[in-house]
Every structure is written in C-alpha cells, then in structure tokens.
Structure 1
C-alpha cells in the first residue's frame, strides 16, 4: 500500500537524520551574540570550498592563464557567483526540510528513479575521488620523488586518518580542513608575490570581455572553467553537514541558521575564488609573460615555475599546495560518499567500510594507469574524471532547484521569484555548457 503524502510534500517520513553520528553535535549559543553564532556556523562552508579548489580544477586555470593572461579571471568570478547561489540552496534544503539532497530525492521520486540517481552519484564520487588521488600522487612524486605506483597505495592511508578525526568530533574534521586550506593560501600567496603580477591587468580581467566569446579557444577553456566549477557531490555534502549544528528546529531557529550558514558559505567560497584566481594569475604572470602559452599540465607547470621565477621554493610551494588540495578533497569526497549511500538507500554502513569501498573504486584505475602509462595516464584519468562529473552535475542541480522552489516542501522558506528565476537560469547555463564541453571532448577530441 502506497504511503500517503505527508503535509510537507514528501512521499515518506524521514526518520533517520543525515550523518546521524554527528547530527546536531556542534552547539550554537542561545544568546544574541553575532560573532559567537557566526563562529558556531563556521566550518561547513570551508568543507564545501574544498571542492572548488581541488586538483581537477587546476589544469583549466593553468591553461587559461598561460594562453590568455588575465582575461579569463571574469569567468572564475562568474563561476564563483553561480556556486554561491547553488550552495545557498543546498544548505537551505538541509536546514528547512531536515534532509540532505540524497534523502530528499529518495523521499520525492519513485524508487527506480532514486536508484538510478544513486548509481550516477556513486560514479561521480568515485570520479571525484580519482582526481583527488591523482593530485596527491603527483604531489608526492614532486615533493619526495615517490614513484606513482607507491603514491597510489599511500593515499589509501587517508581512510584511517579521516576515521580518526571523525571519531574525535566533527569540529576536528573542520579544523583539519581549515589548516589545509590555510596551507594552500600561504603557498599561493608566496607564488603570487614571487611572480609579481600586474595589478591593472588583473582588475581589467575581472570585468567580462567580449573577446572571450569571439575567440573559439578562449571560449572553450572558459566553458571548462565554468562547467567544472560546481561539484555535484558538494550539493549533497552541504545539505547534510549543515545539520551538524544544534540550532532550534523551529521557524525562527531555521531562519537564523540559514542566515549564518549563508554568511559562512559565501565567505568560504570567496576564499576559494581567491585561490582559483591565484592559480590563473600565477600562470599568466609566469608562463604567458614568458611565452610558454602551451602549458596546460600540472607537471609541466611545476617544472617551469622554478627556472622562470628563479626560486627553488616556487616548485616546492606549488607541490605542497597540490598535496594539501588533494588531501582536503579526500576528506570531503569520502564524507559525501557516506551521505549519498545512506541517503539514497536508507541503510547504514560502518564509516570505515563505506570509505574503503569508495577509495578502492578510485585506486584500481589510478593504479593501472600509473603502472601502464605513467604520468600521461594519470593526466588522461584526470580529464576523464572531469567528464564524468560534468555528466552527473545536472542530475544534482535540477532536483535541488526544484525542491527549494516548491512551496509545499519549503513553506515560508521557498525561493522567492528573483532567486527562483536566477537559480533556473544558472542551472540551464551550467547544464548546456557541460553538454557542450562533453560533446567537444568525446566527439571532437578537444581538450
């Protein structure tokens, strides 16, 4: 017998909170102190920001800066704006409906549709984990000369590290992520100072330029930057981890939570914008300026930084930032894997089993590629992983925008007319650009 629709518009009643082991575990002050409340909500945004600076994004930023100087900074800026809107919708869904996006899909769609969405999402998380492994492996080789095959095996230890910190408490995971982001920030700050970029061209680059559309190659790279900006697993992740805060589950409490969570998310994504922009700026100030316009590979970029800038530390900081980026993405990617499996299937696995499964799915192709093809193979895998993420993206954005625009589900928190139109426009743009990027990569062989 089919269950009767609940009064809030869901097919099923949600009895299991998302990430139950850390649900509502971070206290929120009851008093009206703004800064104390903001500090209590600071953390989830940093975990989300990680997805916007992962190794999969580095290649497009490097290629864009090397070939077109500072011109594509405006594309990174627009991409970041899109991300801020969509992550706001994700956190709002989690706070208002007390469901993560996976649970919401399970409670809204028929079982067979939910199952297909789960399979697609699992593939995308494995692809994302693959990019993180590759980034970490390349960094280990650059820093310590560790062979790529051994580097792949070393990344399996990440599972144990993540488990250790989660058992200590969710704030510990957030602290580790913050420390790694700070490491990336310091490294790229050093690189920017060393590369001595020109200020006025940077400011000019932030302003959208018609030349980007006129030149087919710059337009193609722009699509690569824009299309790969929003990671689908981030939407599932944000709608879940925001529920780790112990805010009052009332209308006023949810309103307060949305306010402070949005501030946290916006500030964190602004930091991600700075880091992504920094990669492009460094590439423009070094490779483009020196005439190395064909640089589009992480390894090539590392080899050229030291001789161009004249400092051995340049290569070290670049590799260190890459390692921190890969490790950070591992943390968030494995958490997203747990959220997706539990949310779609409504079953609980021991965290170490779930993370081991996710990691093994990504390690096997990475190991084969490193043994058979070496560096070239891992670069190819990095490209493939981004294609898979592009395919999955629309299957995460469309349900999110649909749910948050449904007054029956969201009640007084439903998206207003301006936000609703903006969200659907952003969705259409991202989906079309990803399809265009996919077509060009698979059928025209453009990369």
Structure 2
C-alpha cells in the first residue's frame, strides 16, 4: 500500500499531465504510473528515478558493440579507446537532451517530429528510424544466436529462429509492471558487468596504455580508412538513434508533478540517472576492446573479428579457463536485454509517428522477423564469417541513421518557442550542434571512402 506522500505525488502527476496537442500520452499504459517522493533524502529520490537510464544504457552495450569493439581492439590495440570515450560523452549529452524533451513537453521525440514537421519530413524520419531499429534488431539476433551456439551448441539458424520467442518475455514483464521490466534489465546488466570485471582482472592490461588510448586521439583514426570504418561502427553502436526516442518516452513513466518546478526536478534526476548508467556502458565497451587488445592484438591474432573466434581463443590466451564461458554468458545477457529496449522503441516510434497502435507481440514479431530473414539467408550462404561481417555492417547502418534522430532532437530542445524556459542554453546548444556536425562529417567521410573512393 502506498503511503500518503507517494499517493499524493502519483495523483499530482496524473492531474498536471496534459500532452501538448496529442491525443494520447507516450506509452499510455505505463505513463505516470511510478510514484516519486517530492521530499526526503536525495538517495531516495534518485532511486525513484533510476531505471530509464539503465534501460537506455542497454542499447550502448548490445551485441553490435561487441563486433566493433572486438575488431577495434584486435586490429588497432588501444587506439580506438578514445572513440569509445568520445562516443560515450556524446551519448550522455544526447540522452540528457532526450530526457529534457520528454519531461518538458510531455511528448516523446517521435510525437514531436509528427507535430512540428511537415508530413513528408515526418514520414521520412519514421522510415529512417525503422531502418535503425531493424539494424539494431539484426545485431541482437546475431549476437543471441551466436551466444546460444557457443553455450549450448544450437546451430546459428536455429538460434536466430529461437530469438523470435522473446516477444513473449517482454509481454510478461510489461504485464507485471514497468518496475519489473527495469529490474530485469538491471539484473542482466549486473551479470554483464560482473563477467567483464573478471576478464579485465585476468587480462591485467597496462594502465598507461589504457589512459593514453582513452584521452589521446590519434590522427590515424581519420586518415586510415580501415580504422575509420571501425570507428564509425563504434559510434553507430554506441550512440543509438532509437534510444533517443526511447528515453524521451520512458522518463514520463514517473509521476512527477507536471508543473515547472516538478519538471525541473525531474530533469535533474533523470539526467543523473542516465549519466551514471552510461558510465557503466563505457566500462563494458572499453572492457571488450581492452580484453580484445590484450588477448589478440599483442599475441599476433590481429585478424580476430568474429565473436566465435574470440570465444575459442580467450581462455587459452588469458590463462583463465572460465574466461570464454563468461564472455558467452555476457553476450547472451546482452542480447536478451537489448530485445526489451528494441520492443519499446519500436512501439514508441510507430505510435508517435503514425498514431498506429498494434499489439506488442505483433509489433515485436514483425521487427524481429525482418531481422531474422537476412540472418538466416546470410548464415545459410556464408556461414559464421558472413554473420560477423553483417554484424559490423549493421552498426555502420545505425551510424548512418543517427543524423535523422540527432538533428531533430537538438532542433527541438534549443527552440525557445517549443520548450519555453526549458530550452537549453546557447552554450549547450552550440556543443550539441557540434556533436551533430561531427556525426555528419564522419558519415560523409565513410561514404566517400567506401563509395566514391572505389571509383
């Protein structure tokens, strides 16, 4: 039974919520359903807001990251650690902006695009976002199938087909309540973190090389086409386009008072929640690359780019018998976790852009089916090597979709007419546009090297 304080807060949240011109709030079945205290110790209030940031962080350590981080560590050692650090800082900024948009306006990013852009532009953005979700789903299918194969010997095609069943897992958790969904996600994140903490301890990487890789950029990242391809794949795998739509929606599950002071307080706690969670994602992504650099780059195995190869070599090269098993368990947890966020993002995007509501299981099976088909075809034709290349390619596709989510987001949160007093300051706006320009510049450079350069 709720105490008087939380019950009053929950009532206040529902009373003040008025979505700006939209017929329905974002994710109406869970909108403003989680009570938050308005007084008390800071930790209690932070705990009430903890959850959305960790759900968003799942997308920053999904199986797609594994392929790009493994390839980066094996081929180039610690050099691309700077790219992981940079992309994580970009993610922290962009996710904070997404949370601000959702809390301040009562709209998620998809609803805002539909409301403020001409229909042709909104539909084009919807298509771009759907492509990003399919690319993300593709990575999850491949990663989960590989993990099932490594742990239980299930063939890749069979594992890919099994992933279609995860729709029912999401349904079960959603029916129990949004807090159960968040608890499931956080539990699997703890598993992933623990697995890599053990591997980092076993690898014993040199601290000096790690710090140099994290904080000293190399010009070779831009001048070496092979390194740039992997670097943009890391950015695409880290800064996830659909996560911006997701975060702008799920922060509204909290029943904060929909008043100006209530919203400002909610923005503060939601930003802190996502920042802490994304630092966990930074550790996991850096750990994958560091373990790969120690095990493969320094041992003459620079050509290791496939998860299956890494699984076979990790234990003997690190001298820890359980290292390979921990690697596969973390991969499976990552794949399962990512399905939750992809399901919600797909629902948010479809409802926000099209005002079209279909059952969650149908939506999940549709997007998962679109991801399973290419995995099954490529696996049948080219085997494990083909799926590994498809995994890296999916992350580059994600990176190509980033501008279609980042530019509208920065545009909205810097517009005082739409955001009022919640619009970001001029300095933050300049920084956000620099991030958007950097993403665009890297994408155009990749296109030049892969298409025009071939001529």
Residues 101-120 of structure 1: pairs in structure 2 closer than 5 A: 101-120=109-128
Q: Given the alignment of the two structures, is residue 269 of structure 1 paired with residue 278 of structure 2, yes or no?
A: yes
Residue number in structure 2 paired with 1:233: 242
Structure 1 residues 54 and 438 mapped into 2: Cα distance closer, same or farther (>3 Å)?
A: farther
Aligned to 2:408: 399
The residue that corresponds to 1:25 in the other structure is 33
2:60 aligned with 1:69: no
Alignment of 1:195 with 2:203, yes or no, is: yes
Q: 1:371 aligns with which of 376, 380, 383?
A: 380
Residue 441 of structure 2: aligned partner: 432
Residue 9 of structure 1 corresponds to which residue in structure 2?
none
CA shift digits 1:369-411 (9 cap, x unpaired): 2223221232232133223212221111100000001001111
Matched, 1:159 2:133: no
Q: CA deviation at 1:363?
A: 1.6
Matches within 5 A, 1:214-293: 216=224, 217-293=226-302
| Superposed CA offset, 1:213-250 (max 9, x none) | 58624444333323442110000000000000000000
Partner Cα distance (1:14, 1:48) in 2: 24
CA deviations on 1:251-279 (whole Å, 9 max, x unpaired) are: 00000000000000000000000000101
Residue 35, structure 1, aligned to residue 29, structure 2: no
2:326 pairs with 1:317: yes
Q: What is the TM-score with the length of structure 1 in the denominator?
A: 0.93
* Superposition RMSD in Å: 1.8
How far did 1:349 drift?
Answer: 1.6
Is the deviation greater in 380-389 or in 394-403?
380-389
* C-alpha deviation, 1:59, in angstroms: 2.0
Query: What do residues 82-129 of structure 1 show as CA deviations (whole Å, max 9, x unaligned)?
Result: 110000110000000110100000001112221221122112211111
Equivalence for 1:138: 146
How far apart are the structure 1 equivalents of 2:453 and 2:60? 27
- How far apart are residue 332 of structure 1 and its match? 0.4
Separation in 2 of the partners of 1:406 and 1:344?
A: 20
Partner of 1:422: 431
Q: Report if aligned partners of 1:72, 1:212 keep a CA contact under 8 Å in 2.
A: no
Q: Are positions 1:58 and 2:89 aligned together?
A: no
- Specify the SS of the correspondent of 1:379: helix
Q: Distance in 2 between matches of 1:444 and 1:138?
A: 33
Runs of 4+ displaced beyond 6 Å:
none
Could you tell me how far 1:291 is from its partner in structure 2?
2.1
Gaps of 5+ in 2: 1-19
- CA deviation vs aligned residue, 1:403-434 (integer Å, no higher than 9, x gap): 00100111111010110000000000012112
Q: Taking structure 1 as reference, are residues 223 and 384 closer, same or farther at Cα in structure 2, changes over 3 Å only?
A: closer
Aligned to 1:96: 104
**Residues in 2 aligned to 1:439 and 1:163: alpha-carbon distance in whole angstroms:** 43
The aligned residue for residue 331 of structure 1 is: 340
Provide the rounded CA distance (Å) in 1 between the counterparts of 2:450 and 2:328.
28
Q: TM-score, normalised by structure 2?
A: 0.92
Measure how far apart 1:152 and its partner are: 1.1
Aligned to 1:49: 57
Is contact 1:224-1:437 (8 Å) kept?
A: no
CA distance in 2 between partners of 1:64 and 1:381 (Å): 16
Answer with 62-71 or 413-422: which moved more. 62-71
Does residue 169 in structure 1 map to residue 177 in structure 2? Answer: yes
Question: C-alpha displacement at 1:444, in angstroms?
Answer: 5.1
2 CA distance for matches of 1:105 and 1:241? Answer: 17
Q: More deviation in 182-191 or 294-303?
A: 294-303
- Equivalenced residue count is 435
How many angstroms apart in 2 are the aligned matches of 1:62 and 1:122?
27
